[in-house]
């Protein structure tokens, strides 16, 4: 049975999904991925520890075990457990996974992705503004009749996969205006379906949105034939505070072609915020339907001016948000999706 994402129940936010310990595998420390990581995180050893231990921190003191991988030292530190996932853990954790894409804006030379972002005209690099004092990306959102100017760019992943985790850090400016809602980033297949366009069998998109005074939501273009726009599932509580850095993770798992077993899960600062199951992202299982693009996508709205940021006098306003440390990881698939 095909079920829409909107029909699903939101589970209550919780701190941890049970006992688990995930550590880096040998395959991550060698080969091109390692070289990529080394280049990407060449000055980011403290950050990498956080990335490698993602999810574990939230469970420390709650049955879990903290662990970290120190790239500078080149060895595992902390716990020595084997990579395992608890049977009770419904959310994949970064551990024995591959980094498929990364952007931290700290390189001496601009990458193709960064140059594509600059071409939008609404981004700038903000030295020392990142959560760790590094360079962050500052996006400007000028309000307009359909919400705000669109700031989008796509980047290919290094591998086509069934399940992936996107993570990024975001800080909404102290003067941020929430308005109704607006897009944040996500992942997609070869031809993502967005913007109310017609569904195609191998097309879909899985994104996040800010929503309603500081909540977050999944925004999914699935195969529901009755919907023009994506399906929104908001968090039950506010998760964002203006002026503070937050770490967002979006776990996307594709469905098997004949099964309604896809899912989209968001955590914010290691706390689960949204959990949507039973998603039918696709009805064809060709290679083009697999997760293969990072979708940088942020703007207010929206298809009318009610989505736009406005000041106290009701005039269109311009606001900013900072982003840093984008990374997409392959995750172990927990559906019947097969590559």
For the record, the structure tokens of 17 come out as 């999904």
Q: How far is the CB of 151 from Ca ion (least distance, A)?
A: 18
Nearest residue (CB) to Ca ion, 105 versus 329: 105
For the record, the structure tokens of 14 come out as 């919780």
For the record, the structure tokens of 42 come out as 């060449």
Q: How far is the CB of 39 from Ca ion (least distance, A)?
A: 14
Nearest residue (CB) to Ca ion, 106 versus 222: 106
- Decide if residue 106 touches Ca ion (CB under 5 A): yes
Please give the distance of CA 248 from its chain centroid, rounded to a whole number.
Answer: 6
Q: How far is the CB of 138 from Ca ion (least distance, A)?
A: 11
Q: How far is the CB of 277 from Ca ion (least distance, A)?
A: 33
- Decide if residue 105 touches Ca ion (CB under 5 A): yes
> Looking at residue 85, what DSSP letter applies?
-
Residues 195 and 205: beta-carbon distance below 8 Å: no
Applying CB under 5 A, among 22, 100, 104, 320 the residue interacting with Ca ion is 104
Please give the distance of CA 26 from its chain centroid, rounded to a whole number.
Answer: 25
- Give the other-Cβ count within 10 Å of 51's Cβ: 22
Distance CA 283, CA 64 (A): 38
3-state class (DSSP) for residue 119 = helix
Distance CA 56, CA 282 (A): 32
Write each residue from 30 to 59 as x if it is in contact with Ca ion (CB under 5 A), else as -, in one continuous string: ------------------------------
Residues 333 and 253: beta-carbon distance below 8 Å: yes
Q: How far is the CB of 135 from Ca ion (least distance, A)?
A: 5
Nearest residue (CB) to Ca ion, 41 versus 329: 41
- Decide if residue 324 touches Ca ion (CB under 5 A): yes
Q: Residues 188 to 217: which contact Ca ion by CB under 5 A?
A: none
Q: How far is the CB of 128 from Ca ion (least distance, A)?
A: 10
Distance CA 77, CA 65 (A): 12
For residue 143, list its beta bridge partners.
148
- Decide if residue 130 touches Ca ion (CB under 5 A): yes
For residue 139, list its beta bridge partners.
123, 321
- The residue range among 99-107, 119-127, 274-282, 297-305 that interacts with Ca ion, by the rule CB under 5 A, is 99-107
- Decide if residue 245 touches Ca ion (CB under 5 A): no
Nearest residue (CB) to Ca ion, 104 versus 114: 104
Q: Which residue is nearest to Ca ion (CB)?
A: 134
Applying CB under 5 A, among 134, 209, 252, 275 the residue interacting with Ca ion is 134
- The residue range among 80-88, 126-134, 269-277, 329-337 that interacts with Ca ion, by the rule CB under 5 A, is 126-134
Q: How far is the CB of 103 from Ca ion (least distance, A)?
A: 9
Nearest residue (CB) to Ca ion, 185 versus 215: 185
Q: How far is the CB of 44 from Ca ion (least distance, A)?
A: 8
Cβ contacts of 294 within 8 Å, gap of 6 or more: 101, 154, 155, 156, 157, 166, 185, 187, 326, 328
Beta strands in the chain (DSSP E): 67-70, 75-78, 99-103, 123-126, 136-144, 147-148, 151-161, 163-172, 181-188, 205-211, 215-221, 231-234, 245-253, 262-268, 271-279, 291-300, 318-330
Q: How far is the CB of 123 from Ca ion (least distance, A)?
A: 13
Nearest residue (CB) to Ca ion, 76 versus 116: 116
Cα-only R_g, the chain:
19
For residue 318, list its beta bridge partners.
142
Number of residues that bind Ca ion (CB under 5 A): 7
Binding-site ranges for Ca ion (CB under 5 A): 104-106, 130, 134-135, 324
């Amino acid at each position: 049975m095909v079920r829409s994402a909107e029909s699903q129940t939101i589970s209550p936010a919780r701190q941890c999904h049970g006992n688990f310990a995930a550590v880096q595998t040998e395959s991550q420390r060698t080969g091109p991925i390692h070289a990529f990581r080394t280049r990407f995180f060449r000055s980011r050893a403290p950050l990498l520890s956080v990335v490698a231990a993602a999810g574990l921190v939230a469970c420390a003191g709650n049955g879990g075990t903290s662990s970290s991988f120190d790239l500078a030292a080149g060895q595992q530190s902390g716990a020595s457990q084997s990579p395992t996932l608890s049977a009770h853990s419904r959310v994949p954790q970064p551990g024995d996974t591959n980094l498929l894409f990364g952007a931290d804006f700290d390189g001496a030379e601009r990458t193709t992705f960064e140059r594509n972002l600059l071409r939008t005209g609404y981004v700038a690099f903000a030295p020392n503004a990142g959560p760790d004092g590094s360079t962050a990306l500052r996006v400007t959102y000028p309000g307009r009749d359909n919400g705000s100017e669109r700031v989008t760019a796509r980047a290919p992943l290094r591998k086509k996969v069934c399940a992936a985790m996107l993570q990024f850090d975001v800080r909404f400016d102290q003067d941020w205006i929430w308005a109704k809602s607006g897009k944040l980033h996500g992942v997609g297949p070869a031809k993502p379906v967005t913007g109310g366009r017609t569904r195609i069998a191998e097309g879909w998109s899985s994104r996040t949105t800010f929503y309603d005074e500081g909540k977050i939501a999944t925004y999914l273009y699935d195969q529901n034939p009755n919907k023009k726009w994506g399906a929104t599932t908001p968090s039950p509580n506010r998760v964002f505070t203006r002026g503070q850095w937050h770490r967002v993770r979006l776990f996307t798992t594709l469905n098997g072609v004949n099964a309604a077993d896809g899912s989209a899960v968001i955590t914010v600062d290691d706390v689960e915020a949204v959990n949507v199951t039973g998603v039918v992202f696709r009805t064809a299982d060709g290679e083009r339907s697999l997760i293969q693009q990072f979708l940088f996508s942020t703007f207010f709205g929206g298809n009318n001016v009610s989505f736009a940021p406005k000041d106290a006098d009701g005039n269109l306003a311009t606001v900013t948000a900072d982003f840093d440390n984008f990374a997409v990881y392959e995750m172990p698939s927990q559906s019947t999706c097969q590559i």
